[in-house]
C-alpha cells in the first residue's frame, strides 16, 4: 500500500455520486462547526479556540495516517514549506474567527468564497500560472461583491469585512503552497503537519489570554476539535471519489447553511446588500471554475 493509496478506494472503485454526497455532508458538518466556533468566540479568545480546534483534530487525523505507516507517512523533505503553510493557515483562522465574532455568519462565509479567485491572482503575480480573461473577470466581479457586502450600510462593520478578506487572502496563499506540497506529500500528512504546527504556534499565545472553561465548556472545546478532524476526513474522502470540478458546485451550499444556522442560532437576518454581494461572489467563483475546466479540456 502506497502513501497515495492510503485507506481510500482504488480508481475502479471510486463513485462520483458518493463523492458528491460526502462533500455535501462534509460541508454541512463544517458549517455547523463554524456556528460552534462563532458561539465559542463569545466566551473564549480566538487563539484559545484555534488551539483546541487544531490540537484535538489531530486525533482522528492520526487514525487516517496509521494505515499509511504512521510516523513513516509523516516523512518529508519540505519542512520549511510545511511551516510556512502552517503560519498562513493560522493567520487565516485568526482573521476568519475574529470576523465571526463581529459579523453575521453568512457575511463571513460569502467573503471566504474569494479564496479560489485570489489564488488565480497570486499564481499570476508569482508567474506560476497564466490567468485568462474569464478569470480576471471573475476576480473583478468577486471583489465588487465583497465591496457591496462590507459597505457601512451592510450587515457588519467595514473592519470585519476587511479582516475576513485578509483571511481569505492568506487562505489563498496557503492553497498555493498546499498545491506544491501535494506533489510529494500525502493529503493526510499535509493536514497533520498544518494542524500540529498551528496548535504549537497558538500554545504560548493561548496562556497569554487564557479563559478557564467549565467542565462542560472544556468538553465542548475538545469535541469541536475532534469533530473538525472527522469533518476533514469526510472532505478528503470525497475528493478520492470525485474530481474537484465535479465537487465544486457543492461548495455553494455553504451559503445556504450559513443563512439557516445564522438565523436559527444567532437570530441573524441577511441584509439585501449581503444577499446581492453573495450572489456576485458565488457567480464569480462559478466563472473561475468554468475557466479552469475549459483550460483542462484544451490541454
Each residue of 28-80: pLDDT tens digit? 898 999 999 999 999 999 999 999 999 999 998 888 877 767 777 778 888 89
Is the pLDDT at 94 greater than 60? The verdict is: yes
Give just the sign of the alpha carbon dihedral 198, 203, 209, 211.
Answer: positive
Contacts of 233 (CB under 8 A, 6+ apart): 60, 61, 64
Determine contact, residues 226/78, Cβ cutoff 8 Å: no
The conformation of residue 14, written as its DSSP 8-state character, comes to -
Determine contact, residues 226/54, Cβ cutoff 8 Å: no
Q: pLDDT tens digits for 238-273?
A: 877 777 666 766 777 888 888 889 889 998 888 888
List the grid coordinates of 162. Answer: 476587511
Q: List the chain domain ranges.
A: 26-298
Q: How far apart are alpha carbons 35 and 31 in whole angstroms?
A: 6
Give the pTM.
0.81
List the grid coordinates of 249. Answer: 458546485
Indicate left, alpha or beta for 66 from its phi (over 0: left) and psi (-120 to 50: alpha).
Answer: alpha
Gyration radius (Cα) of the chain, Å: 19
Q: How far apart are alpha carbons 179 and 173 in whole angstroms?
A: 10
Q: How far apart are alpha carbons 192 and 61 in whole angstroms?
A: 7
Q: How far apart are alpha carbons 60 and 229 in whole angstroms?
A: 6
At 229, is the secondary structure helix, strand, or coil? Answer: helix
pLDDT band at 153 (very low <50, low <70, confident <90, very high): very low
Is the pLDDT at 166 greater than 90? The verdict is: yes
Q: Helices marked H in 41-78 — which ranges?
A: 46-65
Amino acid at each position: 500500500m502506497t502513501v497515495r493509496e492510503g485507506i481510500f478506494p482504488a480508481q475502479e472503485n471510486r463513485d462520483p455520486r458518493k463523492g458528491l454526497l460526502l462533500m455535501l455532508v462534509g460541508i454541512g458538518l463544517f458549517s455547523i462547526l463554524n456556528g460552534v466556533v462563532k458561539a465559542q468566540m463569545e466566551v473564549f479568545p480566538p487563539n484559545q479556540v484555534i488551539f483546541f480546534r487544531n490540537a484535538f483534530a489531530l486525533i482522528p487525523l492520526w487514525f487516517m495516517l496509521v494505515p499509511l505507516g504512521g510516523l513513516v507517512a509523516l516523512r518529508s523533505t519540505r519542512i520549511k514549506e510545511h511551516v510556512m503553510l502552517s503560519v498562513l493557515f493560522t493567520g487565516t483562522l485568526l482573521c476568519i474567527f475574529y470576523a465571526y465574532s463581529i459579523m453575521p455568519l453568512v457575511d463571513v462565509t460569502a467573503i471566504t468564497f474569494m479564496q479560489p479567485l485570489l489564488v488565480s491572482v497570486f499564481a499570476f503575480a508569482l508567474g506560476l500560472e497564466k490567468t485568462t480573461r474569464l478569470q480576471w473577470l471573475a476576480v473583478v466581479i468577486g471583489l465588487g461583491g465583497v465591496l457591496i457586502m462590507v459597505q457601512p450600510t451592510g450587515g457588519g462593520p467595514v473592519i470585519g469585512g476587511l479582516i475576513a478578506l485578509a483571511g481569505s487572502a492568506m487562505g489563498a496563499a496557503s492553497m498555493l503552497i498546499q498545491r506544491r506540497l501535494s506533489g510529494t506529500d500525502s493529503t493526510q500528512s499535509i493536514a497533520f503537519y498544518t494542524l500540529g504546527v498551528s496548535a504549537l504556534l497558538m500554545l504560548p499565545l493561548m496562556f497569554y489570554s487564557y479563559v478557564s472553561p467549565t467542565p462542560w465548556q472544556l468538553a465542548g472545546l475538545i469535541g469541536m476539535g475532534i469533530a473538525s478532524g472527522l469533518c476533514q476526513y469526510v472532505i478528503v474522502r470525497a475528493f478520492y471519489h470525485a474530481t474537484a470540478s465535479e465537487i465544486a458546485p457543492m461548495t455553494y451550499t455553504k451559503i445556504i447553511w450559513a443563512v439557516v444556522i445564522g438565523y436559527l442560532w444567532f437570530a441573524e437576518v441577511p441584509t439585501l446588500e449581503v444577499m446581492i454581494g453573495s450572489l456576485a461572489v458565488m457567480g464569480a467563483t462559478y466563472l473561475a471554475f468554468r475557466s479552469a475546466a475549459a483550460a483542462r479540456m484544451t490541454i
